[in-house]
Structure 1
Amino acid sequence: MTRIDRRALFTSGAAAALLAATGTSLAASPRAGGALRLALPREGGLLDLVARGAMLDCLTEVAPDGLLRAELAQSWDSQDQARVWRFDLRPDVIFHNGQPLQAKDVVASLNGLTLPGIDHLLVTALGTHQVEVQLSQPNPHLPYLLAGSAYAIAPQGAVDLPLAQLVGSGCYQVERAQEGRHFRATKVAGHYKDGQAGWVNSLDVIVIPDASVRAEALRDGFVDVAALPQPKELLKRGDFLYYPSAEDMALAMRPDVGIPRVVGQQSALDDGRIAERWWRL
């Protein structure tokens, strides 16, 4: 195969950079700083998944170890045998455009959506920082369901905008984006998750359709993580880390990429949350 033209690789939309999301920890604790560059294939909408995971938050989230924890909601309780739920929102959340999170944003983002096993739901604001969710059928798993990427919150419910225009409350805000080709984001200063997530200063996600080109981009140091189901001879075993293993591989990464000690097995890309959960050693 002809070697990559380095300038063409990173000035065209066919450049490289995506990340992986599971395995064994590479460091005792996360470190702040540096950049993370991810190379992904075109199919499956993976660039969009990772970009939105970096910019948008949900009411709840599933941590790397698979446990449910609060995100935009700081607490919740249920009534009427889990048919009615109330969520108290964090009062310290600021969207990337400088506006504070309010209950009306949650109402606009969630009303009209469907959930597994639920015919319909009705979301209403009970105050500036409290919402009520009424379900057509009781469901004790609602907080887990609302952690899904389909239930992200944006100002006035504008969750479906192009990446370059998208505003969220996540650890990263868009710097530039080209749909289906490239996404770059920078860390939000003073974020409510500081010290808990959002370790790297910047994130680049680049679509490289050809797996062999992704492998060479990783090998030559242009990206830090690449989706590589079959690296073949392009990677020397031992120089890189693999997930879930070198024999059954979905992701390859440079040895100076750190990941959580425990990462759930639901998705190799950790449901798009790699940007805020991985770090550079």
Structure 2
Amino acid sequence: MTRLDRRALFTSGAAAALLAATGVSLEAAPRPGGRLRLAVPRDGSLEQVARGAVFDGLTEIGPDGVLRPELAEIWHGGADARDWRFELRGDVAFHDGRALGAADAVASVQAWDVPGVVRVEVTGPKSLRIELAEGNPHLPYHLAAPGRIVGPGGEIDVPLDRVVGTGAYRVEQAQAGRHFRAARVDGHYKAGRAGWADSIEVLVIPDESVRAEALRDGFVDVAALPAPAGLLGRGEFRYHPSVEEIALAAHRGVGVPRVIGRQAPLDDGRIAERWWIG
């Protein structure tokens, strides 16, 4: 058997999937409150986690691996799966107070690279239509892919310190490639289902030994791709997916969902809204 690539394991989410296969979890139910702090390499992980916390998509893959609504409350496709209609939630606002409208979703879809899409149009204040060149019954799954997020007027590729989304967390402070901090949005439509921590913080620490040290000494709660020698036998930590192949390490006080889907792992940027402090 070939040796697993720890970096590929983290970014692909296989770590979370393998964790689920072992049945490891902290609590049966998440706990709200606290501050969740993550240390990541300088490999784009900060931006991935931050945008996953600040933005939502039309659909999402839940931690149980099941497709479910996000900004799109309902959808249906035509008989040939070429013509798709989406109805947006009516209780969603961007972090600056603007109400989410169909024009925002249409502009965002047009900014994505979704193969086969030939037309996207507004059909009502909260309704949109997506036309495909060929029928594709899996379109709602494709729309849940990482990066297919909705921003005001389709503005999704903006610096972290200026992002405005509809996600469970609002940006407080950000510096690209270095640091990100966000606070939970009060009254968010996902309240009670996601966004457990009061605040989240992501720190870029390039050196794997220093990431291990930061976790060991309590400066962070989760470390991605830490140096094993800095942790093994030196504290109470959980290793994902295993002690032999550490992609993620966390204090035992960090909780993860009991069931984690294999097709859309927590590490697709949703770790910030789905993990919690026990």
TM-score by length of 1: 0.88
Mapped to 1, the partners of 2:241 and 2:79 lie a distance apart of: 43
Q: Which residue of 1 aligns with 2:26?
A: 26
1:115-142 superposed Cα distances (whole Å, 9 cap, x missing partner)? 2xx3333111110011000011111100
**Aligned length, in residue pairs:** 259
TM-superposed deviation, 1:114: 2.6
Q: Which residue of 1 aligns with 2:5?
A: none
CA contact (8 A) 2:170 2:184 kept: yes
**Superposition CA RMSD, Å:** 1.6
TM-superposed deviation, 1:236: 2.0
TM-superposed deviation, 1:188: 0.3
1:233-252 alignment, distance < 5 Å? 233-236=230-233, 239-252=236-249
Q: Does 2:217 match 1:193?
A: no
Give every structure 1 segment of 4 or more consecutive aligned residues whose post-TM-superposition deviation is greater than 4 Å: 266-269
Q: What SS is found at the alignment partner of 2:147?
A: helix
TM-score by length of 2: 0.89
TM-superposed deviation, 1:231: 1.2
CA contact (8 A) 1:94 1:169 kept: yes
Residues 213 and 233 of structure 1: is their aligned pair in 2 closer, same or farther, counting only changes over 3 Å?
A: closer
TM-superposed deviation, 1:263: 1.3
1:224-245 superposed Cα distances (whole Å, 9 cap, x missing partner)? 0001254124442661001011
Q: Which residue of 1 aligns with 2:10?
A: none
Q: Does 2:164 match 1:147?
A: no
Mapped to 2, the partners of 1:78 and 1:268 lie a distance apart of: 26
The partner residue of 1:272 within 266, 269, 272 is 269
TM-superposed deviation, 1:248: 1.8
Mapped to 1, the partners of 2:37 and 2:204 lie a distance apart of: 11
Mapped to 1, the partners of 2:264 and 2:220 lie a distance apart of: 21
The partner residue of 2:157 within 147, 156, 160 is 160
Runs of at least 5 residues in structure 1 that lack an aligned partner in the other structure: 1-19
Q: Which residue of 1 aligns with 2:87?
A: 88
Give the % identical residues: 56
Runs of at least 5 residues in structure 2 that lack an aligned partner in the other structure: 1-12
Q: Which residue of 2 aligns with 1:171?
A: 168
Q: Which residue of 2 aligns with 1:16?
A: none
Mapped to 1, the partners of 2:265 and 2:215 lie a distance apart of: 18
